[in-house]
Chain A
Amino acid sequence: MTEEKKHKKVFVEGPITPIFIADSLAKHAAKHNIGAHSMFMGQVRADVKEDGQVVTGIEYEAYQEMAMETLHQIREDAFAKYSLTCMHIYHSLGLVKTGDISLFVFTSSVQRRAAIEACDYLVERIKREVQVWGKEILESGETVWKRPG
C-alpha cells in the first residue's frame, strides 16, 4: 500500500463546514450496497470557565505524522471489528470558533448496526489516542489548554 493510500486525508484547516458534510454524504449516493450511514460531528462549545469567561473558539494543533499513523491503526481496527462499507474521519487544525464543527466521523454499512457502533467506537478512540491538542480561546484573548474529555 502506498503512503498516500494508507494515509487518507484527515486534517483540514479551520472548521469543517456543513457544505463539506453534505457533499460527503452526496458522494455516497452512487454506492447502492450501502443501507445505512452514521455521522458524528463535534461542535465547539461555549464553555464558561471558573472566572465567568466564555470560550469563543478552540485552536487545534497536531503531531501530524504520528497522528496519521495512529488513525491508520484505528481505521484498520474498525474495519476488522465492524462490517463497514465506508469510513471517513476529518479533524480541524487551527482556529475553530464556537458553534463550528471540528470533528467529523462518517461510517456507512449495509445494515445500520455496524455503522452506528463503528461511529461511536471511532469517536472514542480518536479522542483518547490521536495526537491532537486544543487550546481554548477566551473572550479576553487569554488561552486555556483544553482538558482531555
Chain B
Amino acid sequence: MMNVLLFGRLAEICGSNNYTFDLKDTDSVCDKLSEDFPEIKRLSFAVAVNQKLVVQNTELNDGDEVALMPPYSGG
C-alpha cells in the first residue's frame, strides 16, 4: 500500500488530503484519481515519490509516499 498526499486545490477537489492505494506506479495513481475526480484533469501538478520530484512514470513499492502538488504559492 502507498500513502498518497494531496495539496492545495487538489485536496479540495478530491475531498481529502490523504488516500491509501495499492497501485503499481505513479501514472496509475493519477489515472485512478482522474477517474474518481475528473476535474483534476484540468490542473497541472507535480508528482513526488518519497519527497523526490519525479517527471516520468515511476514504479511504486509498499510503504511509498506519493505527493501530488499543484504549483507552489508560498510567500
Min C-beta distance of B51 to chain A, whole Å: 4
Interface secondary structure of A, over-half rule: mixed
- Cβ-based interface call for A28 (8 A): no
The size class of the interface chain A forms with chain B is: 20 to 34
Query: Which B43-75 residues sit within 8 Å CB-CB of chain A?
Result: 48, 51, 67, 69-75
Q: What's the tally of chain B residues with a CB closer than 8 Å to chain A?
A: 15
What chain B residues lie within 8 Å of A134 (beta carbons)?
73-75
Assuming the contacts A63-B5, A133-B8, A145-B9, asked whether A127 and B51 have C-beta atoms less than 8 A apart, the reply is no
What chain B residues lie within 8 Å of A142 (beta carbons)?
none
Binding site for A on B (CB under 8 A): 5, 7-9, 12, 48, 51, 67, 69-75
Binding site for B on A (CB under 8 A): 42, 60-63, 65-66, 69, 91, 102-103, 123, 126-135, 145-149
